[in-house]
């Protein structure tokens, strides 16, 4: 199908090449009237490295929602440009500028990696580019660095981890080792878990941080075995999550319950196989959610891309839904900024994860599900936290 072909890896990379032309000084002619030219959407997402599958799923989900809504935004045709962020924070500012200044995009969609997000938000706060973060959970983006033009359709790292602190104690796991990559996402996730865990009487006996995106876990797993904790809480995602779960099982640690934000298994569960059995996670989505929006979405995604949707695809899908609601309200005039932002702030998103709205800081207020892998399936055990909002400490919209 043409639609699926249009978002192949090749075309993504070609789009990246277009963005590179923009960065070398060519700025495309703009129409004076804000609602006649194509709407230009820039993707700043990883299409290589440990998070490559996440970038692809977000792109797919986004384009699916747009196609389902007539392939237009407020009546206007759309042009996509994409830059491979490589999930590399050091290139975050340069790659953001390729899209914002070089390509002069109307909307920026990205990134996946919290470190890239921190560089990106500092730039778009200055340029005012309307930005939707479809994954990166860095608290600062909807905290101290929040801004009227910055929205998120995913989660904060705190949100996805906090609920498990209570669940672990309810399950009698009192002494826990935490582990992650050493960067904002991992550190914020471990802090979110620990805050709720210690509040409920738990003790973190050791925190282990390894460089991103290392997947050499052997020495750390040996240390965990010697510590004999009641449980282990980790943040890993993408190819790193796949490797960690397999290594954990191969190290003979399956008798120690493994927990984490749902990125530990989402999108990689099939490949993890038997090694993932029993893993307990919290997340704002689960493949098996029994609501009509999820069933319709999953069927459409599987048909368009011949693969299963995951949480990243949902977040991309909802980024497009948010943009559609804003652009419909202003009839495609992206220059009507106040009205556009106002409509996005008031959006009610009927998501495959369940309906959600945005907080004053522009971050989803949403349910977090407790999930467990049983017989190769992600089973929803219940809602761990209902309508959880990030505290958005330090956010002053002005
Ligand atoms: C992050 O860097 O914020 C992130 C990356 C992958 C999954 C979840 C969060």
Q: Is the Cβ–Cβ distance between 176 and 202 less than 8 Å? A: yes
Give the model's pLDDT for residue 19: 39
Q: How far is the CA of 58 from the centre of ligand 1 (A)?
A: 13
Residue written as token pair 């959006």: 347
Token pair, residue 387, equals 């309508």
Q: Is the Cβ–Cβ distance between 256 and 234 less than 8 Å? A: no
Considering the domain delimited by 158-283+368-388, tell me its CATH architecture.
3-Layer(aba) Sandwich (3.40)
Measured CA to CA, the distance from residue 272 to residue 58 in angstroms comes to: 21
For domain 9-155+289-358, the CATH superfamily is Response regulator (3.40.50.2300)
Q: Is the Cβ–Cβ distance between 81 and 15 less than 8 Å? A: yes
**Is residue 314 pLDDT above 60, yes or no?**
yes
Give the model's pLDDT for residue 323: 98
Q: How far is the CA of 21 from the centre of ligand 1 (A)?
A: 29
User: How many residues belong to the chain?
Assistant: 398
In tens, the pLDDT along 84-129 reads 999 999 999 999 999 999 999 999 999 999 999 999 999 999 999 9
Q: Which of 114, 133, 143, 284 should be mutated for ligand 1, with most atoms under 8 A from CB?
A: 114
Measured CA to CA, the distance from residue 385 to residue 391 in angstroms comes to: 14
H-state helical runs in the chain: 2-5, 9-23, 52-68, 92-97, 114-127, 157-170, 184-199, 218-227, 238-250, 269-272, 292-305, 311-329, 337-345
pLDDT, mean of residues 332-348? 97
**Is residue 351 pLDDT above 80, yes or no?**
yes
Give the model's pLDDT for residue 20: 36
Measured CA to CA, the distance from residue 39 to residue 41 in angstroms comes to: 6
Ligand 1 proximal residues by C-beta, below 6 Å: 112-114, 135-138, 157, 185, 237, 263
Q: Which atom of ligand 1 is nearest to 116's Cα? A: 2
In tens, the pLDDT along 198-231 reads 999 999 999 999 999 999 999 999 999 999 999 9
**Is residue 17 pLDDT above 60, yes or no?**
no
**Is residue 374 pLDDT above 70, yes or no?**
yes
Q: Whose CA is nearest to atom 2 of ligand 1?
A: 113
Give the model's pLDDT for residue 8: 42
Measured CA to CA, the distance from residue 181 to residue 185 in angstroms comes to: 8
In tens, the pLDDT along 244-257 reads 999 999 999 999 99
Q: Which of 239, 234, 253 is nearest to 190 (CA)?
A: 234
Q: What percent of the chain has a predicted confidence (pLDDT) above 90?
A: 91
pLDDT, mean of residues 135-155? 98
Q: How far is the CA of 29 from the centre of ligand 1 (A)?
A: 35
Q: Is the Cβ–Cβ distance between 63 and 7 less than 8 Å? A: yes
Token pair, residue 104, equals 């002069």
**Is residue 156 pLDDT above 90, yes or no?**
yes
Q: Which of 133, 135, 236, 261 should be mutated for ligand 1, with most atoms under 8 A from CB?
A: 135
Give the model's pLDDT for residue 34: 52
Q: How confident is the model at residue 31 (pLDDT cuts 50, 70, 90)?
A: very low
- In a 13 Å sphere around the CA of 38, the CA atoms on its Cβ side amount to 14
Q: Which atom of ligand 1 is nearest to 113's Cα? A: 2
Q: How far is the CA of 3 from the centre of ligand 1 (A)?
A: 27
Measured CA to CA, the distance from residue 186 to residue 237 in angstroms comes to: 10
Q: Which atom of ligand 1 is nearest to 263's Cα? A: 7
Q: Is-same-fold flag (9-155+289-358; 158-283+368-388)?
A: yes
Q: How far is the CA of 44 from the centre of ligand 1 (A)?
A: 14
Q: Whose CA is nearest to atom 7 of ligand 1?
A: 237
The pTM of the full predicted model, rounded to 2 decimals, is 0.93
Give the model's pLDDT for residue 16: 41
Q: Whose CA is nearest to atom 5 of ligand 1?
A: 113
Residues 6+ positions from 261 with CB-CB distance below 8 Å: 157, 160, 161, 164, 189, 235, 281, 282, 283
Residue written as token pair 């106002």: 342
Domain boundaries, the chain: 9-155+289-358, 158-283+368-388
Q: What is the greatest pairwise CA distance in the chain?
A: 67
**Is residue 237 pLDDT above 50, yes or no?**
yes
For the chain, the average pLDDT equals 93
Give the model's pLDDT for residue 35: 60
Measured CA to CA, the distance from residue 192 to residue 196 in angstroms comes to: 7
**Is residue 350 pLDDT above 70, yes or no?**
yes
Q: Which of 50, 87, 111, 112 should be mutated for ligand 1, with most atoms under 8 A from CB?
A: 112
Give the model's pLDDT for residue 227: 98
In tens, the pLDDT along 261-307 reads 999 999 999 999 999 999 999 999 999 999 999 999 999 999 999 99
């Amino acid at each position: 199908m043409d639609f699926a072909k249009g978002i192949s890896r090749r075309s993504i990379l070609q789009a990246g090449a277009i963005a590179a032309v923009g960065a070398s000084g060519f700025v495309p002619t703009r129409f004076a009237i804000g609602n006649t030219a194509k709407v230009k959407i820039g993707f700043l997402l990883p299409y290589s490295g440990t998070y490559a599958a996440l970038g692809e799923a977000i792109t797919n989900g986004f384009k699916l929602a747009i196609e389902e809504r007539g392939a237009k935004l407020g009546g206007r045709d759309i042009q996509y440009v994409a830059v491979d962020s490589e999930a590399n924070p050091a290139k975050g500012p340069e790659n953001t500028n390729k899209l914002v200044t070089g390509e002069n995009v109307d909307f920026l969609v990205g990134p996946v990696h919290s470190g890239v997000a921190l560089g990106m938000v500092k730039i778009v706060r200055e340029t005012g580019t309307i930005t939707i973060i479809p994954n990166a959970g860095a608290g600062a983006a909807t905290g101290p660095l929040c801004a009227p033009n910055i929205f998120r359709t995913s989660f904060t790292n705190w949100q996805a981890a906090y609920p498990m602190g209570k669940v672990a104690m309810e399950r009698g796991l009192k002494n826990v080792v935490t582990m992650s990559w050493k960067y904002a996402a991992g550190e914020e996730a471990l802090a979110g878990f620990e805050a709720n865990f210690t509040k409920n009487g738990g003790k973190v006996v050791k925190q282990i941080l390894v460089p991103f995106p290392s997947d050499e876990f052997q020495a750390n797993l040996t240390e965990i075995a010697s510590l004999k904790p009641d449980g282990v809480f980790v943040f890993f995602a993408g190819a790193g999550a796949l490797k960690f779960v397999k290594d954990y099982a191969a190290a003979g640690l399956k008798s120690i319950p493994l927990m984490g934000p749902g990125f530990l298994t989402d999108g990689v569960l099939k490949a993890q196989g038997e090694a993932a059995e029993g893993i307990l996670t919290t997340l704002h989505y689960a493949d098996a959610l029994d609501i009509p929006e999820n069933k319709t979405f999953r069927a459409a995604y599987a048909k368009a891309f011949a693969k299963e949707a995951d949480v990243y695809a949902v977040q991309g899908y909802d980024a497009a839904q948010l943009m559609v609601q804003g652009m419909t309200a202003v009839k495609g005039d992206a220059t009507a900024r106040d009205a556009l932002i106002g409509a996005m702030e008031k959006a009610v998103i009927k998501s495959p994860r369940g309906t959600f709205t945005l907080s004053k800081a522009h971050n989803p207020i949403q349910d977090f599900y407790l999930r467990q892998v049983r017989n190769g399936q992600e089973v929803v055990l219940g809602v761990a936290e209902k309508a959880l909002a990030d505290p958005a400490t330090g956010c002053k919209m002005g």
